[in-house]
Structure formats: structure tokens, C-alpha cells
Structure 1
Amino acid sequence: MPEAPRRAGPRRPADAPAETRLHGLNACLAVFRRRPDAIRKLWLSEDRVPVLREVMAWCASHRVGYRIVPREDLQRLSGSQHHEGVCMAVLPAPMPRLDAWLDGLAQGPSLALWLDGVGNPHNLGAILRSAAHFGVAGVLLPAGSGLAVSGAAARIAEGGAESVPLVEAGQPSSAFARLHAAGFTPIATVVRGGDDLYRTQLPDRLLLVMGAEGEGVDPAIAAACERRLGIPGTGAVESLNVSAATAVFVSEWARRHH
């Protein structure tokens, strides 16, 4: 079966898989709306035919295979019981390198996230959902992060994984210098000892550094940032998890700059 033509774009990493399987209704619909050429196969349950009829018609006209299958088959194909009645084999979204991403960035206020050691796909999905909702320009991944949009992350993101690019940022030292030259101020988020988010001026161009679950931001990276911020709370719990904290930080920046 011939492949649909591919759109030109930023390269995918050399070690990226040829395709990945996504599941979840909004995740799959977002791929169809934004980059249908990436679709390689569609599986769906009978009850999803009405809402996915347009996708099925596109697949038929572009010689992309699709099949209506039982829900137990969808669980096997997607590797999840939370498939929501649909699974797609798709090409991963291209990941721009930092310079290419900066070159394409519009002038004016902009917020980028730097994920330092974040590895949980559910947290990545929740971060991408918040990032899409509040207009984050990009999620920057340092060299060796290994993060990618898995089926679980895409489902949790509810389509946000198609709205916010993951960016290959490289080594922190060189990346921070390049971002600083582009007007970004790096600010690290911390659990203890940081300035109060709600009493701190947030720059127009902000690089917000979010730390790994449990360990937080690497001390060397935090030291390279101009400030450290925390979210004040009651003290009943030590902190929010990284995805919830990201939502709070980005919503506060968006409130002040949009």
C-alpha cells in the first residue's frame, strides 16, 4: 500500500522509531487535524465510527488502512485499557533543534519550559495539556532526556501534544546562552527557599525550568538560573507534583502577559 506524501519539516532524531501507536479520541483527532500525512494505520471500535467517519474517509482516499475491531483488540494494539475506542499508528512529530525553534519564534512575550529529568509519561502528557491551554511556545528537552510522546502521554495531553513542540535543546550551558541571547530569562522552580511566585515579577520572555519528580531541578542548573521560584501553600503537603506545579506557574505567567 503506497504511503501518503510527507510534509517537509524539522528532522526526527536518528534513533526515533519509524512509527508509534497513539490512543485516546482527542489525541488521535488532533493528529488528523494537524498532520494527517503522519497517519499510517487506524483501528477503531464500532461505536467510534460516527465521530471518526471523516478520518476513515481520509484514510480510504489516501490508501491508509483502517479496521473496525473489538475493544479487546484495541487494548492489545494500544497497550492500554484506556484506549477510548481508537488507536493510530503514526509517524512521530518532528523535533526541531533549538536554533531552528528560536528562528521561528514570534517577537514579543514568550514562555518556554525546560524539563530537567522529568520522565513519567503521564506527567509529560499533563504538562503538554497545560502548555497547550496556556500558550507555551515550546517544551525544551536537554541532551539525553529520552522523553518522547508515547501513547499514554498523548492521551493524557488530550491533543496538546500536537500543539506544543518538543525541542531538542542540547547541553544546558550552551542552550541557556543561546536562549539568553534571544531574550529569555531562565528561572528555576524549587520546593523550598524560592521567591514567592505571586510576588515576583515574571519576565516577558521566560524559560521556566521544571525539575524531575522527587529530585527537583539539578542544583547546577538551578544555579545557572537568574532566580528560583516557589508556589506558596498551606504546608499541609510538601509540594505539588511537577505537572500540577507546571499548570500553576504557566497560568500565572499567562495571566500577566495575555
Structure 2
Amino acid sequence: MSDNESSNNKAKPTIFYAQKSQEDKSKRPYAKRDGDKSKPSGRGGYGKPSGDKPRSNRPRNENSRASDSRIETFKPRGQQSVSRDGDSPWKSRFQNTEQLPTFDADNKAPVVHEQIKRQRKEETLVYSENSCKAVFENRPETIIKAFFVQEKTYEFKSLIAHLVEYRLGYDVITDEQMTKIAQTPHHGGVCLIVKKRKAELVGDYLSKSAQVEQDCVLAIDDISNPHNLGGIARTAAFFGVGAMLLRQPDILESGAALRVSEGGAESLTPVKADDLLASIDQFKQQGYQIVALLPCKVSSLKADTLTKVKMSRKTVFVIFQQINPKLATLADHCVYLPGSEAMSALNISVLTGILLAKWQENITNL
């Protein structure tokens, strides 16, 4: 081969690549420099002499990387959707759970009605400082989630530490948001979602109270106002009452009743009585004294004033909103508090407090 032919062969690659279009340049491998030895091409073979024609540009998979190219292009494994409404791809991901926004006032998301019904049956809201502190002190295992305004986070730092330790959720929200969740402006800056207590049966409670010498039980008849019931629970806890006998124990577990009770409901045992008359008779057979408190004097019933009745260490007080003649007949004593012409009757929670103060005085003198 002559010197002219050799020089022409060496120049061929340069002439060839200079004539390639811009589109083909991105697909072809880099040309070897003049004088370089043959090296592996990255496809299992060795480079061809400079005089041979370059390999044809075969179509490649988009996900495959050109191993014979010095410029490497990195692509994500999967195409991610474009963020919406300013969402960040680095935002933390939350695990989907069965917990539904039972107490969400807006109720924007579609929810399963059966699950909401179950949650409202098993869970309740507790708000106000003293009520939430009492729940945390007596039954912290029932707490599901907590809400705080910023000003209350230091006061409830021990509760927050408990929530963090057991990986329970809590949110720091505004006062307006707290009002929506608690469904009342009287929330006290803190609100808990807790599991309701299960009411005991009459037989189970009597089997436990048989071991004690002193016990007082309030049998509540036809009192469905949660504020009155909460006031009675607060008074009962103050005087050391052991249990409340209720047809509907869920009323005592409502947020309004627990708030008014100021934590007093936590020291009371709710006892369910489907048949209040039969349940009171069970207490009577176990040696309890039955005392019916009338809201005012009734001519059709024989009743005495509080000063004339001696009460025993084990007593069931029947509290009426409206007088039930059958329950009054079953009682050992009917008592009332005489009033003035200006006001013949007191609020039922106030009247219960006076009655329990008299009971405490009696058992102290025994």
C-alpha cells in the first residue's frame, strides 16, 4: 500500500463523522483516535480497523444504557406524576389505616357509614383540662389521638411524651379548628379521642361490692341531659360514690357530661340496667338500703325530710327527673327537701349534693 493510500484511509473516519447529521451523532459511539489500539467495544467484540465501515445504528431500548458512550444518562426507574397543588415529592408518606375521620366537621372525604357507626359506638371525645388529665391518669391505654392548641402543649408535656412513646397521633391546631373538632367552644384547649368504658353488669358489680363494708350507688332514672348527669357525677365523686346505675351508660361517656364532671366520672363505675326496677331489687336483696329522692313533696307518696331518715353504710339512692311511682314504692324510704314558695324544687344535681352530704354525715356517726 502506498503512502497516499494509507493517509487517505486514516482520514476516512474523520471525513465520515464530519458528514454525519446532528441527530446521528447522539446515537453513534465515540470514534477512536488515530493510532489507538483496538479495545473492547462493550458488546463482547473488539474494535474493527479504521478502514471498515462503522456499525449501523440499531434501535435500542430506552431504559438500556449505552455502555460504549462516555456520557451516561440516568433516568428514574418509574415515571412519577407531576405534583399538584404544590405537593413535594419529599413530603412524608402516611400509612393508610382503618381509622376514619369520625369527628371531622367538614366530612369532605367519602367514608364507610358502617365503620363510622362502629367508631361512634366505641369511641368518644373528651375535652377540657381536668377531664383529659383524669383520663390520662386513670386509663391512658384508651387514648387514640389528641389535639392541643399551642398554649397547652407545655401543660400536657407528659401526655405528649406518652403519645410519642406509644406512637399515637397528636396535632397542634388553632382554636377555631379545635372548636370544630370538639363541636363546642368550651374545649379548654385540649381534646382527646378515647375508647369508651364498658359498663358493668349488676351481678358483676354486686360480687365485687360484697367484699366492702361501705358503698353508695346512684340509680339514675330518666335523666338524659348530659350537663345534669355530669354535674351529678362530679358531686358523686366528691362524696365518694362507687357507681352509677344507668339505663343508658353512653350518656355518661359523652363529651359534655365528661366536661361538666371535671374528671369526676373517671372515679365512678358505670353499671348498665336494662330494667331499672329489677336491678334495684337485686341491690335490695344484697342488703342495700334503697332511698328515693323526690324533687319536691308529693301528696300521693309518703315521704320524710332528710333530717328524719337514718341511712346505712350501703345505700342506693334513686334520683328522679320525673317521679316514677313504681320505683318510689320499691324504696325503703322516700325523702324530699322542703323549699319556699318562690322555688319549690332545686336542680337535680344540687339536690343530689345535699342528699349525699347527709349520707356522709350519717355514716360518720355510725
Q: After TM superposition, is the score higher than 0.5?
A: yes
Question: Match of 1:11?
Answer: none
Question: Match of 1:7?
Answer: none
Counterpart pick for 1:97 among 201, 211, 229: 201
Question: Match of 1:226?
Answer: 332
Which range moves more in the overlay, 217-226 or 36-45? 217-226
Measure the CA separation in 2 of the matches of 1:39 and 1:29: 11
Counterpart pick for 1:64 among 163, 168, 172: 168
> Mind listing any 5+ residue stretches in structure 1 that lack a counterpart?
4-13
Paired residue type of 1:201: K
Measure the CA separation in 1 of the matches of 2:356 and 2:340: 21
Is 1:243 matched with 2:349?
yes
Question: Match of 1:139?
Answer: 244
Measure the CA separation in 1 of the matches of 2:127 and 2:168: 17
SS in 1 for 2:281: helix
Answer yes or no: is the 8 Å Cα contact 2:219–2:317 preserved in 1. Answer: yes
Which range moves more in the overlay, 228-237 or 29-38? 228-237
Count of residues in correspondence between the two structures: 244
Question: Match of 2:51?
Answer: none
Question: Match of 2:225?
Answer: 120
Measured against aligned partners, the alpha-carbon deviations of 1:157-196 in whole angstroms (never above 9, x if no partner) come to 0001111111112313321221012211211111104201
Paired residue type of 2:264: G
Answer yes or no: is the 8 Å Cα contact 2:312–2:363 preserved in 1. Answer: no
SS in 2 for 1:17: helix
- The TM-score, its normalising length taken from structure 2, stands at 0.63
CA distance 1:222–1:146, change in 2 (3 Å): farther
Answer yes or no: is the 8 Å Cα contact 2:310–2:362 preserved in 1. Answer: no
Alignment root-mean-square deviation, CA: 2.0
Answer yes or no: is the 8 Å Cα contact 1:121–1:149 preserved in 2. Answer: no
Answer yes or no: is the 8 Å Cα contact 1:24–1:82 preserved in 2. Answer: yes
Answer yes or no: is the 8 Å Cα contact 1:130–1:247 preserved in 2. Answer: yes
Question: Match of 1:196?
Answer: 305
SS in 2 for 1:229: strand
CA distance 1:206–1:235, change in 2 (3 Å): farther
Measure the CA separation in 1 of the matches of 2:225 and 2:259: 13
Measure the CA separation in 2 of the matches of 1:158 and 1:122: 11
Aligned pairs for 1:43-82 within 5 A: 43-82=147-186
Measure the CA separation in 2 of the matches of 1:59 and 1:116: 38
Paired residue type of 2:348: V
Answer yes or no: is the 8 Å Cα contact 1:130–1:246 preserved in 2. Answer: yes
> Mind listing any 5+ residue stretches in structure 2 that lack a counterpart?
1-94, 99-117
Measure the CA separation in 1 of the matches of 2:128 and 2:254: 11
- Structure 1 residue 217, shift from structure 2 partner: 2.5
Measure the CA separation in 2 of the matches of 1:108 and 1:153: 30
Task: Give 1 or 2 for the bigger CA radius of gyration.
Answer: 2
- Structure 1 residue 16, shift from structure 2 partner: 6.9
Counterpart pick for 2:286 among 178, 182, 198: 182
Paired residue type of 1:209: V
Measure the CA separation in 1 of the matches of 2:195 and 2:356: 29
- Structure 1 residue 148, shift from structure 2 partner: 3.4
SS in 1 for 2:121: coil
Counterpart pick for 1:35 among 136, 139, 142: 139
